[in-house]
Amino acid sequence: KGDTRGKFVRDVYLNAKSRGLAYPEIVASQAAAESRYGASKIAQEANNLFGIKLREGETGEAREIMDKDKFLKKLTLEFLIP
């Protein structure tokens, strides 16, 4: 399997550095922490390493993913409220 976590951090670091971002080492470590080294659902399905989401009423390029909050709201509306 190899060093996939190390490769993830290295790849994000090199990408951030090539884009001229300040503190690419912090960008890479934050991406690793927030996305479980790229393994989170939102990272896998939407290439979103930082878990940034649009809230209701906000506009922008986005992909809808069922998260815990939406699930709980749906559960409440469908099953708990007659």
Nearest C-alpha neighbor of 64 from the set 45, 40, 37, 38: 45
End-to-end Cα distance, the chain:
50
User: What is residue 80's predicted lDDT score, i.e. its pLDDT?
Assistant: 57
Q: pTM here?
A: 0.68
Are residues 49 and 12 in contact, defined by beta-carbon separation less than 8 angstroms?
A: yes
Instruction: Quickly tell me which residue has 């912090």 as its tokens.
Output: 26
Q: What is the pLDDT of residues 36-47, one digit of tens each?
A: 999 998 899 888
Alpha-helical (H) ranges within the chain are: 4-18, 24-35, 41-46, 68-75
pLDDT digits (tens, 9 = 90+) for 55-71: 777 787 776 666 777 76
